[in-house]
Amino acid sequence: MKAMQRKMNNKVNLHASIKEKLAQAEKPLILSHVRPDGDAIGSVVGLSLALKQAGKSPQGVLVDGVPRKFKIIAGTEDVRTGISGEYDAVIAVDCADMKRVGFPNGNPDVDINIDHHVTNELYGALNLVEPDQPATTSILAKYLPEWGFPITREVADALMMGMVTDTIGFSTSNVNPEFLRISADLLDKGADLTGIYHKTITEKSLAASLLWGNALARLKWEGQLAWTVITLEDRANADYEARDDADLTNHLSALENIDISVLFNEQKDEKVKISWRSPKKFDVSKIAVKFNGGGHPPAAGADVDGKLEDVIEAVLGETKKFIQGKN
């Protein structure tokens, strides 16, 4: 009973401290990870808009910018690719570790760390990490009013985008009644669920379709495991400018009779982005941490240095061992 009371008191104290820090900050810096997905972008934009509407001057920074398909909500036009001017607080959202922020000359110290990844390294002075939440945007939607920031229609759109994309349209196994209630509250505030779903889940650009075609042509499988590769040449041939995978990982996760899928996404300078998916059976975050990555049980990733063929061999070797229960 006493342990439970201490836990409750700690949570109350944490939220009081976050509320105080946000109230004091006039020029907050809001960061998230490289190759940002909808949850990272929705978190940065939603929080930035909420703070701006309270009279503050936030700057949202994503090193890789905002991919075109996510530029459907208000506020994305203000996101920068580098820090500009002074700031008096640093807030990291949807980022399990600061290595993933990607600043070439080092990362600033973080005052508030808000995230839902089970592998979060608790690097902030204040750490609000709730792995049971399907998205970081749902954490913000839950607590922004408690911290004194009303959710307007524009904020609701940003948060809804993160919640839709991180759950592949409310279809992942971690979607729960609370998450759906939070979504309903955002709908009440004017969030455009239909438009956001269509633009971020259903609609595909011609370039993304060509990228998928190149990668799926080399799809391989062995027992419960399937994998494929996106090369730098694929990206150039498809005229696909972003560094992400055009959501191909979500397609791979739906393959019949496959328990783990792996996507190798080649980057410049002999780096490879790895994405593991296992919607039901395996905790793939346990594989990702072996490569200094992280994530969730059904979805995890890592950035690995090395030649593409060497990385593929090493990752597939560890993944096969994991399936066999040997690591």
Running DSSP on this structure, what letter comes out for residue 70?
G
Per-residue pLDDT at 53 exceeds 90: yes
pLDDT top residue among 6 and 42:
42
Please state, in angstroms and rounded to a whole number, the distance separating the CA atoms of residues 259 and 219: 15
pLDDT at position 159 is 98
- pLDDT at position 2 over 50: no
Q: Which amino acid is at 36?
A: P
Q: What angle do CA 67, 69, 70 make, to 5 degrees?
A: 70
Per-residue confidence band for 243, with pLDDT thresholds at 50, 70 and 90: confident
Does residue 86 sit in the same domain as residue 114? yes
* CA torsion, ordered 65, 288, 118, 80, to nearest 10 deg: -10
Residue where a domain terminates, one of 172, 201, 230: 201
Residue 44 has pLDDT above 90, yes or no: yes
Instruction: Tell me the residue type at 150.
Output: P
Q: Is the domain of 60 the same as that of 146?
A: yes
Residue 6 has pLDDT above 80, yes or no: no
The set of residues, in sequence order, having a beta carbon less than 8 Å from that of 250 and lying 6+ positions away, is 168, 277
Q: Which amino acid is at 50?
A: A
Cα 203 to Cα 246: distance, rounded to the nearest angstrom? 11
Task: Read off the tokens for 52.
Answer: 């701006």
Percent of all residues in the chain with a pLDDT value above 70, rounded to a whole number? 97
- Distance CA(290)–CA(284), nearest Å, equals 10
Paired sense of beta strands 112-115 and 89-93, if any: parallel
User: How far is Cα 235 from Cα 35, in angstroms, rounded to an integer?
Assistant: 14
Is the confidence at residue 3, as pLDDT, over 50? no
Predicted pLDDT at 9: 55
> Do 154 and 15 sit in the same domain of this protein?
yes
Residue 90: predicted pLDDT: 98
Q: Is the dihedral of CA 54, 108, 20, 24 positive or negative?
A: negative
Q: Which of 84, 80, 83, 93 is nearest to 37 (CA)?
A: 93
- Do 148 and 277 lie in one domain? The reply is no
**Within this chain, do residues 74 and 185 fall inside the same structural domain, yes or no?**
yes
CATH number at residue 232: 3.10.310.30
105 and 155, same domain (yes or no): yes
Give yes or no: residues 69 and 196 share one domain. Answer: yes
For the question of whether the overall pTM of this predicted structure is more than 0.75, the answer is: yes
296 lies in the same domain as 187 = no
Beta partners for residue 152, in sequence order: none
The tokens for 129 are: 């990490």
% of residues, the chain, pLDDT over 90: 85
Longest dimension (CA), the chain: 62
pLDDT > 80? residue 34: yes
Q: What is the CATH number of the domain that holds 50?
A: 3.90.1640.10
| 32, 125, 179, 180, 318 from 138: Cα distances, Å | 16, 21, 7, 10, 33
Query: Between 243 and 94, whose confidence is greater?
Result: 94
Residues 127 and 211 in one domain: no
- Going by pLDDT thresholds of 50, 70 and 90, the confidence category of residue 281 is confident
Residue span of the structural domain in which 174 resides = 2-201
pLDDT score at 292: 93
What is the total count of domains within the chain? 2
Q: At a CB cut-off of 8 Å and minimum separation 6, what does 223 contact?
A: 323
Regarding whether 303 and 266 lie in a shared domain, the answer is yes
Q: Report the mean per-residue pLDDT for the chain.
A: 93
Q: Average pLDDT, stretch 277-295?
A: 91
Structure tokens at 327: 């690591």
Per-residue confidence (pLDDT) for residue 76, from 0 to 100: 98
**Lowest mean pLDDT segment, chosen from 5-9, 12-16, 227-231, 247-251:** 5-9
| pLDDT of 5 higher than 50 | no
Q: In this structure, what token pair is assigned to residue 131?
A: 């792995």
User: Which two tokens mark 262?
Assistant: 């792996």
What per-residue confidence (pLDDT) applies to 12?
Answer: 77
| End position of a domain, from candidates 168, 184, 201 | 201
Residue 327, pLDDT score: 64
| Residue where a domain stops, chosen among 201, 225, 240 | 201
Claim to verify: residue 31 and residue 123 sit in the same structural domain: yes
Residues 37 and 180 in one domain: yes
